Amino acid sequence: MRVGRLVELEADGPERLPELCEKLLANPLIEDFEIQSIDA
Amino acid sequence: MKWAVLQFPGSCDERDAVRACERSDGEARLHWHEDRDLGDADAVVVPGGFSYGDYLRAGAIARFSPAMEAVAEFAAAGGPVLGICNGFQVLCEADLLPGALLRNESLRFLCRQVELIEVDGPKSQPGVDKSAHRPLSIPVKHGEGRYWAPEEMLDALEANGQVAYRYAPGQNPNGSARDIAGVTNEAGNVLGLMPHPEHAVDPLEGSTDGLRVFERMARLARIPA
């Protein structure tokens, strides 16, 4: 069993999210990520 | 010889690192992470501890500090940089060193003496860096010290002489790939290791083998740019 990480963010726009994930929220060498948007 | 030892919120081994640098050679000072000017430092140490409480991932936040921007430039220009434990994690997160540090295989925080082997490679200087093949006795103190990289990267590191230290046979405390305890960058001026050489510089600590790691960095600093 492995415990991952769930990050919920409020953002004004989705444009910078991939960069945010690549550089900060995930370490691409050992983690992958998926962005799911929840429409208000 | 002038050493700059970085200090982040949550660093805890920076003062022992200052002491170890000075026991090795020269003067050392603490350098607050918000300061972008390394001044006249000949070598930089990124110390152990829990910068930012290992929030998100160990080293993931500290890598964005202004001081780390300066360290990246310093390293690119060939300056010697030593990352110890959390410092190793910060350097990997900052892409100044290859690979990543994962949670210990046992899932437990470990604090104990281990034996390390200095690894000779294509860049080792005979009679200087080439080890006497006596293991070094140095403590580890970490919960996320398991070194990992993809197989192709590990092959490249070994071929290029970038594996600097391995845990001696039977001494791997955390499941690190290929018993790797420390690595360098391609150019060989940035070194990261999980064990704590700064805690092995005084006979009262049971070992002075840690001084060899600082002496290695001091030798790099003496090479003309």
Residue A1 per-residue DSSP state: -
The sign of the torsion formed by the CA atoms of B42, B75, B175, B180 equals: negative
Mean pLDDT of A17-33: 91
Does the pLDDT at position B225 exceed 60? no
Q: Percent of chain A, pLDDT > 90?
A: 30
Q: Give the tens place of pLDDT for each residue, B168-203.
A: 999 999 999 999 999 999 999 999 999 999 999 999
- Active-site hit among B85, B92, B115, B205: B85
pLDDT attached to residue B129: 54
Chain B nearest C-alpha distance from A10 (Å): 17
Of B64, B100, B150, the CB nearest to A27: B100
Mean pLDDT of A4-11: 74
- What are the distances in angstroms from CA B71 to CA A2, B8, B27, B81, B99? 34, 14, 18, 8, 18
Chain A nearest C-alpha distance from B71 (Å): 18
The total number of structural domains that make up chain A: 1
**Domain range for A7:** 1-40
Radius of gyration, alpha carbons of chain A = 11
ipTM of the complex: 0.86
Active site residue B196: yes
Q: Which site among B52, B54, B57 would you substitute to test the A interface, given the most A Cβ atoms closer than 10 Å to its Cβ?
A: B57
Q: Give the tens place of pLDDT for each residue, B137-146.
A: 999 999 999 9
Residue B100's closest CA among B216, B180, B187? B180
Q: What are phi and psi of B41, to 5 degrees?
A: -60, 135
If you average pLDDT over every residue of chain B, what do you get?
A: 94
| Of residues B42 and B125, more confidently modeled | B42
Q: Percent of chain B, pLDDT > 70?
A: 93
Closest-CA residue in chain A for B64? A24
If you average pLDDT over every residue of chain A, what do you get?
A: 82
pLDDT attached to residue B125: 59
pLDDT attached to residue B173: 97
| Of residues B162 and B126, more confidently modeled | B162
Cβ–Cβ below 8 Å for A25 and B56: yes
Q: Give the tens place of pLDDT for each residue, B63-119.
A: 999 999 999 999 999 999 999 999 999 999 999 999 999 999 999 999 999 999 998
Q: Which residues of A touch B96 (CB under 8 A)?
A: none
Q: Which residues of B touch A29 (CB under 8 A)?
A: 99-100, 149-150
Active site residue B31: no
Pick the CATH number of B2-222 from 2.40.50.140, 3.40.50.150, 3.40.50.880, 1.20.120.80: 3.40.50.880
B126: pLDDT confidence band, cut at 50, 70 and 90?
A: low
Does the pLDDT at position B221 exceed 70? yes
Q: Is the pTM of this model over 0.90?
A: yes
Lowest mean pLDDT among A13-22, A31-40, B59-68, B124-133: B124-133
Q: Are A39 and B105 in contact (CB under 8 A)?
A: no
Q: Give the tens place of pLDDT for each residue, B92-101.
A: 999 999 999 9
Closest-CA residue in chain B for A4? B56
Cβ–Cβ below 8 Å for B56 and A24: yes
Q: Are B79 and B46 in contact (CB under 8 A)?
A: no
**Domain layout of chain B by residue ranges:** 2-222
Active site residue B85: yes
- Active-site hit among B14, B93, B144, B198: B198
Residues 6 or more apart from A9 whose CB is under 8 A from it? Answer: A17, A20
Q: Tell how far CA B136 is from the center of its chain.
A: 15
Mean pLDDT of B31-48: 97
Is B57 near chain A, with CB under 8 Å? yes
